[in-house]
Structure 1
Amino acid sequence: MQKIIVIDTGCANLSSVKFAFDRLGFRTEISQEINEIHSADKLILPGVGTAIAAMQNLEQRQLIDIIKNATQPMLGICLGMQLMTAYSAEGNVSTLNLMTGNTQLIPDTGLPLPHMGWNKVHYTENHPLFAEIEQASHFYFVHSYAVLPNENTIATSQYGVDFSAAIAHNNFYGVQFHPERSGKNGAQLLRNFVENI
């Protein structure tokens, strides 16, 4: 049985992410212990709130280098995905720089922010993270900042403009939506991350 560690970033939604994996029958723990993180088969980097507060939490917990040097597959969720890029305009803060790209306020097209609710996701054909999920399936989003499409984008959604719904580089994966709140599609994506990545 694979060991999944939800990295304790000090953010609010840790237990809901853990419960989503628990419901699928996977052994999941929330931890900031270095040994636990090193021994995990899969890592989850969740996040809710602002980039600057999250980076301060990671620094205080001495987790930045641990995350940067992780060799296991890691899934960033929502803010966790944004932290995987080089920079966030939300507080003008350097982030983890696990892949190129930056996080910026969703461009003003007259739509209200945050972008909240269900939206369609279009993914790169045959990507293992989206196995057995129909193209243009709906996932649940809550965010005002986004990563615009770049070379690491593996899925997009649209809210006035196209933005990255999922990104990937080496062993790092990120999703802007909340799979733990996205019903059967979200559950399938979490299962895919554990079983296919």
Structure 2
Amino acid sequence: MKTVIIKYNAGNVQSVMYALDRLGADYLYTDDESEIRSADKVIFPGVGEASTTMAYLREKKLDLLIPSLKQPVFGTCVGMQLMCRYSEENDTTCMGIFDVDVKRFPVIPGVKVPHMGWNNITGYQTELTESLPDNAYVYFVHSYAAPVCAETVAVCDYIHPFSAMLKKDNFYAAQFHCEISGAAGQKIIENFLNI
């Protein structure tokens, strides 16, 4: 099985590679269209800011390639947000795979933004969470989030409920960092590879 990690100007890719290494997965880190199209599974990770990251995707035409993929695709953190329709982060038009806009957490006195650290997810409705215990804890670092919507398949509550995971057709996404979310995150990645 060929797994591709999409190469673009996003951080934290090394952690994704370590997670795949722990699972014994073969993978390639590339922005080459033919390699991405021929992959069995595609991972679209991310740490970064929406507008500059989308600009890079457009420059490389990855913004057109990613939504056209037919194999399972898994976006995480900023990767998930860029798969949505729009982000309030620097007024950014995104790829529109998921029909939802990403919004900044509201400012509430005494409540810290970004949402950073371990929090539980609930309401699982995806094969990626198969065998996870109820209320699994995963690791978040974000100031923007997708509201709960028709494509939500797991929820987290911080300030208000938001989409911890999304799914539409062959596209899967998680707001949290699976690669640094301990056993729960590792199981989600393993489940993705086993789809």
Identify whether the pair has TM-score above 0.5, normalized to the shorter chain: yes
TM-score by length of 1: 0.95
Contact 1:123 1:130 in 2 (8 A): no
Aligned residue for 2:180? 181
**Distance in 1, Cα, partners of 2:57 & 2:15:** 20
- Paired-residue identity, %: 37
**Distance in 1, Cα, partners of 2:57 & 2:81:** 14
Give the superposition deviation at 1:10: 1.6
Letter of the aligned partner of 2:80 in structure 1? M
Matched, 1:73 2:72: yes
Give the superposition deviation at 1:107: 2.2
Aligned residue for 1:53? 52
SS in structure 1 opposite 2:176?
A: coil
Letter of the aligned partner of 1:102 in structure 2? D
SS in structure 1 opposite 2:65?
A: helix
Give the superposition deviation at 1:7: 0.3
Alignment RMSD (CA, Å): 1.0
Q: 5 Å matches for 1:45-194?
A: 45-110=44-109, 111-125=111-125, 127-194=126-193
**Distance in 1, Cα, partners of 2:99 & 2:63:** 17
**Distance in 2, Cα, partners of 1:160 & 1:154:** 19
**Distance in 1, Cα, partners of 2:163 & 2:107:** 16
SS in structure 1 opposite 2:122?
A: strand
Extract structure 1 runs of 4+ deviating beyond 2 A: 107-110
What residue ranges of structure 1 are gaps of 5+ in the alignment?
none
TM-score by length of 2: 0.96
What residue ranges of structure 2 are gaps of 5+ in the alignment?
none
Post-superposition CA distance 1:124-171 (Å, at most 9, x none): 35x311011011010000000000100000000011100110000011
**Distance in 2, Cα, partners of 1:9 & 1:172:** 18
Aligned residue for 2:42? 43
Aligned residue for 1:9? 8
SS in structure 1 opposite 2:36?
A: helix
Aligned length: 194
